[in-house]
Amino acid sequence: MTKWTTADLPDMTGRTVVITGATSGIGLITARELARVGALVVLAVRSVDKGRAVAATFPGRRAEVRELDVSDLASIRRFAAQWSGGIDVLINNAGIMDVPLSRTADGFELQMATNFFGPFALTNLLLPHLTDRVVSVTSQLHKMGRTHLEDAEDLAGQLRPYKGTAAYNDSKLNLTLFSTELQRRLTASGSPVRSFLAHPGIAATNLATHTVPGKVTRALRFLFNDAEHGALPTLFAATQDLPGNAYVGPDRPGGMKGHPKIGKPAQTALEPQTAARLWSLAAQLTGTGADLPAVA
């Protein structure tokens, strides 16, 4: 079977894509490739200078840079309030992994804030502008995640001892549950917008700097995707005609590397009652998401 590559990207002229965390790794490549095929790509980044330097390297310079710190609800609200016009594709790509414990201005553990609360709030606030799809970039490690849904404090990460790797896995499970619940609610409300998940397998980017020493990454590189291949599932989900809730990842055994194919998230990420409980607590904590009611 032919492997899907960036040569198969359709013309995206006239389409607007917003992508978070486009200054490095998978996000940078995704943004560059979508700009190359004609999309107006908005790089939603925490460092505008870094974003401008990246955008200046794109073919045709079809890119705009706007400030957005996805770990900070005030920044997300500013970004959304300044938006006018339609967005065809929102890509929730920005993420961090296994960082030392810290809490955000909103009182959230930083990985949960960046990898889950941020995409949740941003998507909900931009929903009135969205016309086609949301792609959320998850990780296969969501399969090792656990939910913490006792109450709002539990979800925000204030009640348990901190473990960096577990916090990452948990945040990606929440992101995956959010994405599947988003599709349920969009369908129930009659919206044509679709929600997709993409994961890069393992890709050599800056993500694991806190977890894996650089020399180990370099030695094991043959096992991974390079960042260019890591971006393919996101690009596939952002541009192909797929059923809502499609989960796209690499095709090689174990899903660690290769070319895009549709797979399945963990069963825990497909549980509607858990997802509805997560949505309700996240809505309470972020003050967003109440406009899209639960599925009866």
Ligand X SMILES: NC(=O)c1ccc[n+]([C@@H]2O[C@H](COP(=O)([O-])OP(=O)(O)OC[C@H]3O[C@@H](n4cnc5c(N)ncnc54)[C@H](OP(=O)(O)O)[C@@H]3O)[C@@H](O)[C@H]2O)c1
Q: Which is nearer to ligand X, 190 or 214 (CB)?
A: 214
Query: Which residues have C-beta within 8 Å of that of residue 142, sequence separation ≥ 6?
Result: 169, 172, 173, 175, 176, 265, 266, 269
DSSP letter for 193, please.
-
Site for ligand X in 101-140 (CB under 6 A): 114, 137, 139
Cβ nearer to ligand X, comparing 187 with 209: 209
Query: 241: burial class by Cβ within 10 Å (0-12, 13-18, 19+)?
Result: exposed
Length of the chain: 296
Considering the rule CB under 6 A, would residue 169 count as an interface residue with ligand X?
no
Binding characters for ligand X, 15-54, by CB under 6 A (x = yes):
-----xx-xxxxx-----------------xxx--x----
258 binds ligand X (CB under 6 A): no
Task: Name the residue nearer to ligand X (CB basis): 135 or 292.
Answer: 135
Among 95, 145, 164, 260, indicate the residue that binds ligand X (CB under 6 A).
95
Distance separating alpha carbons of residues 17 and 36, to the nearest angstrom? 12
- Selected from 193, 207, 269, 278, the binder of ligand X by CB under 6 A is 207
Residue of 126, 140, 56 whose CA lies nearest to 92: 126
Are 9 and 239 a contacting pair, CB within 8 Å?
yes
Task: Choose the binding region for ligand X from 196-204, 215-223, 260-268, 279-287 (rule: CB under 6 A).
Answer: 196-204
Using the CB atoms, write b or e for 267-278: b if 16+ within 10 Å.
ebbbbeebbbbb
Q: Which CB sits closer to ligand X, 64 or 280?
A: 64
Q: Under the criterion CB under 6 A, does residue 176 sit at the interface with ligand X?
A: no
Q: Applying CB under 6 A, does 205 fall inside the site for ligand X?
A: yes
Which x/- pattern, by CB under 6 A, does the window 216-235 give for ligand X?
--------------x-----
Residue 94 within binding range of ligand X, rule CB under 6 A: yes
Whether 162 is catalytic: no
Can you tell me the distance from the alpha carbon of 175 to that of 169, in angstroms, rounded to the nearest whole number? 10
The HSE-up count of residue 159 (CA atoms within 13 Å, CB side) is 10
Shortest CA distance to 279 belongs to which of 110, 142, 194, 271? 271
Query: Which stretches of the chain bind ligand X, using CB under 6 A?
Result: 20-21, 23-27, 45-47, 50, 68-71, 93-97, 114, 137, 139, 199-200, 202-203, 205-207, 230
Known catalytic residues are 168
